Amino acid sequence: MVWSDTALKRGAPLLASSSSESIVVWEKHPDERVGWEGQVLGQHDARIEAMQFQPGTSTLATAGADGWVVLWQKRRLGQMLDGAPNGFSSLCWHAKGHQLAAGGAAGELVVWSKGTRGQGFGQK
């Protein structure tokens, strides 16, 4: 599980959890009696190994044993990044959120940087 570091309009940050190859993003409902509502996100074909919110945003990165890092923007598929044929085992955002690093199960290190023209993240 991982919390976002920013609160949404409803006053609470997002919470993400994973189960096998699916992610659930939880958002606090404005009605206290309802509590938290979850939305299932599924794009990976194998177990989710790591996930983390981009600092200062609600963008979620997930790394899977399928060899994909998926960026979820506004709880929708934003971008799919590859680079570890044997799967990813870890990931971490730079503190300023402009770079994302992921570790492969076979020892690879892949670093993506945010494009300067709003075209997502590219490998560096």
pLDDT tens digits, one per residue of 75-105: 889 999 988 999 999 999 999 999 999 999 9
What gap in Å lies between CA 64 and CA 62, rounded to an integer?
7
Structural domain range at position 12: 2-123
Q: How many domains does the chain have?
A: 1
**CATH number for the domain including 58?**
2.130.10.10
Backbone dihedral region for residue 56 (phi beyond 0: left; psi -120 to 50: alpha; all else: beta): left
The band of 57, judged by pLDDT with boundaries at 50, 70 and 90, is very high
Backbone dihedral region for residue 40 (phi beyond 0: left; psi -120 to 50: alpha; all else: beta): beta
- pLDDT over 70 at 9, yes or no: no
Give per-residue pLDDT as tens, 30-55: 888 999 999 999 888 899 999 999 99
Between 19 and 89, residue with greater pLDDT:
89
> Percent of the chain scored above 90 by pLDDT?
68
